[in-house]
Chains A and B, each alone.
Chain A
Amino acid sequence: MNDSPAARKGLGADPYERRWMIVSLVLLIAFMVTVTIAGFALGFQVPGDESRVDPRTVADSPPWSEPGLRDLGNGEYVAYVLSRQYLYDPNTITVPVGATVTFYVTSTDVQHGFKLQDTNVNMQVVPGEVSKLTVEFDEPGEYKYICNEFCGIGHAAMFGRVIVEAEAGGS
């Protein structure tokens, strides 16, 4: 029986492999620490458990019966967006540059996506659930939000836009 090159105890891993295992673990832990700091200390967070709605009646009850933007003052806004085959309501949202907008998105029918281009807002939209994420618009311009989950035959046409206006002399 040949068990020479390395003294094989326990696992019987060879010394190079053992070192590689340590490197792997250190690497994975480093990644974990990095994303943890970004997520829990710096505000790069994923959506969580927000609230539930009844998809059959959600469009008739506040706040979703009047989807759209609410100005909370201090440059803070809330946007309620209803997704349905194959459009967003509202499909245009206008805010001044510097606005912080919290999106609440739900669906009246099937699953959709809500991806706001050039930002980190990228959510699954699920009937019966409310998806929530926030974004700060520091640059003026047009930001499209597009549906990135298959929702039926008209899916490819489903999008809306946020227009961020440059402050023209104190709005």
Chain B
Amino acid sequence: MSDRSTDAAFEEDFKPRGTIAIVAMFVAMLILLWLSIYLILIVRGVTV
């Protein structure tokens, strides 16, 4: 177990840049894949 005070400086500087990149990629993928299925719905025609 690491000591809180020695970690403090590291924590101060820590910016989750990689995490932001990963969630951005995830969002792009989510929108793309979701839209492609949504498009299939639209192409297959109305139901009322």
Contact = CB atoms under 8 A, between A and B. Distances in A.
A38 B19 CA distance: 34
B41 A27 contact: no
Contact of B48 (A2, A20, A31, A45): A45
Interface of A: 2, 4-5, 16, 20, 23, 27, 31, 34-35, 38, 42-46, 118-121, 133-136, 138
Given A2-B8, A5-B11, A23-B27, A38 B47 contact: no
Binding site secondary structure of chain B: helix
B1 interface: no
Contacts, number: 57
Chain B interface size band reads 20 to 34
Contacts of A119: 44-45
